[in-house]
């Protein structure tokens, strides 16, 4: 889908520059957690967080900063427009749901029937030892609605893990990042998927290149936009049904592949 909207905020070499109206406009805070930044500050933050998180991929806060500072307005607007043109996506933008341990009762989800989305998600959280509360607030995206879109993407990230079954070990993250890039076009996911494998061993890179990247690009690009899934409402639904509905195939289990390879050695 090509971008439908190109706002004049993005046409930089504008004639308005000729009008010599160089009044300094103090940045305004557009939402409570907003930290207004200019282009230079964004570039600085992006470079710093990018370099640091390359060497320490566990720093989720830096990855979040990288994600926000590299998110070009037109790409975020494109993602927002994808939400706005879908009835469910529109409802999400209107309701502005947040995924936290207080909005979703993880313990109760464990009692859900086998293979439901809620159960899969809760089991995945338990297996990987993470909590939905570890997600940082969006700070550097200037548009308030686009900031929510980024927040939503970030909070749904764990659901993507859950339905694809990809673990949070670095290889799984990279595979999922590539999948997300093909699906959402958020630049950080693409940067991560391309640069992070440089730190991996050749065997791991080989596995990504031959198995996971082809899967991620094919499924990410052809499936329906995952940002339009109202996860809170479909926790009781069968996970396979959802995969069929979205058009996602489940990738080979990464942990199994690793175990197999280790036992062969």
Considering the rule CB under 8 A, would residue 2 count as an interface residue with other proteins? yes
Please enumerate in sequence order all residues whose Cβ is within 8 A of that of 102, keeping only pairs 6 or more positions apart, or say none: none
Asked whether the CA dihedral 63, 100, 124, 215 is positive or negative, the reply is: negative
18 binds other proteins (CB under 8 A): yes
Contact 126, 110 (CB under 8 A): yes
What end-to-end distance do the CA atoms of the chain give, in Å?
Answer: 45
- Per CB under 8 A, the segment of 8-16, 24-32, 134-142, 167-175 that binds other proteins is 8-16
16 binds other proteins (CB under 8 A): yes
Structure tokens belonging to residue 259: 């175990």
Does 19 participate in binding other proteins (rule CB under 8 A)? Answer: yes
Among 15, 26, 198, 265, binds other proteins (CB under 8 A): 15
Q: 228-242: b or e for each residue (b if 16 or more CB lie within 10 Å)?
A: bbebeebbeebbeeb
For other proteins, what does the binding mask look like between residues 138 and 167, x meaning CB under 8 A? -------x----------------------
- Residue 232 contacts other proteins per CB under 8 A: no
CB of 214 to other proteins, least distance (A): 30
Secondary element (H or E) of residue 122: helix 117-128
Whole-angstrom distance, CA of residue 148 vs CA of residue 180? 17
Residue 15 DSSP label: G
Size of the site for other proteins (CB under 8 A): 20
Residue 16 or residue 260: which is nearer to other proteins going by CB?
A: 16
**Of 101-130, which residues contact other proteins (CB under 8 A)?**
none
Residue 214 to residues 176, 208, 225, 227, Cα–Cα distance (Å): 12, 8, 18, 21
Q: Write the binding mask 76 to 105 for other proteins: x where contact by CB under 8 A, - elsewhere.
A: -----x--xx----x---x-----------
Nearer to other proteins, 94 or 203 (CB): 94
Binding site for other proteins (CB under 8 A): 2-8, 11, 13-16, 18-19, 81, 84-85, 90, 94, 145
């Amino acid at each position: 889908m090509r971008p439908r909207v190109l706002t004049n905020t993005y046409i930089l070499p504008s004639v308005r520059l000729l009008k010599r109206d160089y009044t300094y406009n103090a940045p305004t805070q557009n939402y409570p957690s907003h930290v207004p930044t200019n282009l230079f500050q964004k570039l600085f933050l992006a470079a710093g967080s990018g370099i640091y998180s390359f060497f320490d991929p566990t720093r989720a806060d830096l990855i979040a900063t990288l994600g926000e500072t590299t998110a070009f307005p037109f790409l975020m607007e494109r993602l927002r427009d994808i939400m706005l043109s879908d009835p469910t996506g529109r409802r999400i933008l209107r309701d502005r749901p947040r995924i936290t341990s207080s909005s979703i009762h993880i313990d109760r989800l464990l009692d859900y029937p086998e293979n439901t989305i809620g159960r899969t998600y809760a089991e995945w959280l338990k297996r990987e030892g993470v909590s939905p509360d570890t997600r940082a607030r969006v700070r550097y995206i200037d548009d308030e609605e686009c900031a929510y879109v980024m927040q939503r993407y970030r909070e749904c990230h764990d659901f993507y893990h859950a339905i694809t079954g990809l673990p949070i070990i670095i290889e799984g993250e990279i595979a999922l990042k590539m999948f997300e890039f093909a699906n959402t076009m958020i630049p950080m996911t693409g940067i991560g998927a391309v640069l992070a494998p440089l730190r991996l061993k050749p065997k791991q890179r080989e596995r990504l290149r031959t198995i996971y990247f082809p899967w991620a690009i094919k499924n990410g690009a052809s499936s329906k936009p995952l940002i339009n899934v109202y996860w809170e409402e479909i926790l009781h639904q069968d996970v396979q049904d959802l995969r069929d509905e979205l058009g996602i195939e489940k990738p080979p289990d990464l942990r199994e592949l690793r175990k197999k390879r280790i036992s062969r050695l």
